[in-house]
């Protein structure tokens, strides 16, 4: 087995130069599923160029960079040159392939499958070109320029395990023999364009248009709902203001009624106190009068104690005998009355006889 070939400094210098130069780029879209089940739109910038002239004439350079799209993205309409980016340079003269960056691949959002996706996109371009399967892969040592030194110890261990899993699925080997951790591959045909399609889903132009249309529709619907909610909020605010005015009015009326009631209570209490005072005065006067009467009854008359004067008797109704009216007529009057009655009888008898004769 041939000994591994470590990184080529000349290819590194050329890759750094091409990475900073103005080269044609294209963009692709993808959907990233987040741990909570929601999704975000992501974009990848793809760079492909061929170097002309010099020792590495005809070398092929490719780079894939990732960023989240949207207003809350870390970089608006641009890509980082050191984060979420991976590149490769292919030297056709030497049949050599070298991957970068030299400081390692730094993924800002770990655990979402972004690293596997951009590496898989890069290897996909490698297999779609004129690269033969016998091309060799340069070996890199870990850590690269202290790439993991910023992580806490426990996260560094998890990150190393995640890195080993990603590289093994892509066809690289990860070795820590002889106390030295290295990454490499024996030949280009061992590399595989792999990523987790459930975490990151590639969007073709038609799918991107549909996704954008759905996003615009959802945004429009959200705006309509927001406007409706705003109108509802305004209506509720108006009702609340009216209710507050009513409460204030009722409270004022209640306070006025309470004040009037308090005034009535005070006046009633004052009148009650006055009546109680008058009653007490009358009771005192009555007691004084009774005392005077008792004293007057106890004064002796002609050297003897006078017997108590009996109280006046109240006459009972019906106790007085009824008087009768007696009318007596004289002799002449009685004679006249009897004569009058006899004449009436005679006249009556005559009238009755005349009627019977008819």
Tell me the average pLDDT across 114-121. 93
User: At 82, is the pLDDT very low, low, confident or very high (cuts 50, 70, 90)?
Assistant: confident
Residue ending a domain, choose from 243, 271, 299: 271
Residue ending a domain, choose from 150, 171, 203: 203
* In a shared domain, residues 198 and 230: no
- Poorest-confidence range of 39-48, 53-62, 264-273, 315-324? 315-324
Model confidence over 171-221: pLDDT tens digits? Answer: 998 887 666 778 888 888 889 998 999 999 999 888 888 887 887 888 888
Model pLDDT, residue 213: 84
Asked whether residue 296 is assigned to any structural domain, the reply reads no
* In a shared domain, residues 51 and 116: yes
Domain total of the chain: 2
Domain limits at 49?
A: 9-203
- Over the chain, what is the mean pLDDT? 81
Asked whether residue 184 is assigned to any structural domain, the reply reads yes
Whole-number percent of the chain with pLDDT over 70: 78
* In a shared domain, residues 186 and 208: no
Vertex 134, ends 131 and 140: CA angle to 5°? 90
* In a shared domain, residues 123 and 54: yes
Asked whether residue 314 is assigned to any structural domain, the reply reads no
* In a shared domain, residues 113 and 152: yes
> Taking the C-alpha atoms of 107, 113, 114 and 116 in order, what is their torsion angle to the nearest 10 degrees?
100
Residue ending a domain, choose from 213, 239, 271: 271
Asked whether residue 37 is assigned to any structural domain, the reply reads yes
* In a shared domain, residues 197 and 215: no
Model confidence over 333-348: pLDDT tens digits? Answer: 667 667 767 777 777 7
* In a shared domain, residues 185 and 46: yes
From residue 253, alpha-carbon distances to 21, 170, 245, 266 in Å are 82, 82, 12, 20
Task: Please tell me the number of Cα atoms within 13 Å of 134 on its side-chain side.
Answer: 4
What is the pTM (predicted TM-score) of this model?
Answer: 0.60
| Residue 236 clears pLDDT 80, i.e. is over it | yes
């Amino acid at each position: 087995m041939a000994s591994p070939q470590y990184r080529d400094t000349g290819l590194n210098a050329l890759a750094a130069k091409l990475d900073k130069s103005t080269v044609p780029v294209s963009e692709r879209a993808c959907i990233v599923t987040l741990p909570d089940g929601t999704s975000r739109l992501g974009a990848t910038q793809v760079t492909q160029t061929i170097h002309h002239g010099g020792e590495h004439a005809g070398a092929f350079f490719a780079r894939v960079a990732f960023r989240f799209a949207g207003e809350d993205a870390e970089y608006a309409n641009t890509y980082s040159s050191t984060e979420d980016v991976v590149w490769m340079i292919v030297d056709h003269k030497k049949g050599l392939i070298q991957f970068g960056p030299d400081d390692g691949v730094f993924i800002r959002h770990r655990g979402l499958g972004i690293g596997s996706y951009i590496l898989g996109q890069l290897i996909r371009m490698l297999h779609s070109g004129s690269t033969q399967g016998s091309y060799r892969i340069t070996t890199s040592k870990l850590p690269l320029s202290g790439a993991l030194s910023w992580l806490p110890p426990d996260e560094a261990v998890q990150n190393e395990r995640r890195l080993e899993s990603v590289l093994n699925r892509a066809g690289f080997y990860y070795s820590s023999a002889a106390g030295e951790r290295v990454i490499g591959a024996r030949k280009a045909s061992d590399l595989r364009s792999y990523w987790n399609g459930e975490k990151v889903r590639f969007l073709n132009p038609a799918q991107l248009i549909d996704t954008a249309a759905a996003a615009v529709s959802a945004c429009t619907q959200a705006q309509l709902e927001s406007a409706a909610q705003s109108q509802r909020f305004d209506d509720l605010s108006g009702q609340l203001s009216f209710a507050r005015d009513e409460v204030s009015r009722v409270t004022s009326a209640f306070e006025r009624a309470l004040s009037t009631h308090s005034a009535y209570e005070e006046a009633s209490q004052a009148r009650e106190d006055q009546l109680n005072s008058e009653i007490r005065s009358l009771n005192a006067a009555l007691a004084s009068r009774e005392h005077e009467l008792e004293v007057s009854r106890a004064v002796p008359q002609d050297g003897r104690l006078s017997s108590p004067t009996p109280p006046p008797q109240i006459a009972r109704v019906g106790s007085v005998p009824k008087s009768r009216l007696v009318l007596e007529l004289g002799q002449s009057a009685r004679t006249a009355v009897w004569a009058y009655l006899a004449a009436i009888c005679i006249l009556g008898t005559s009238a009755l006889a005349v009627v019977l004769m008819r």
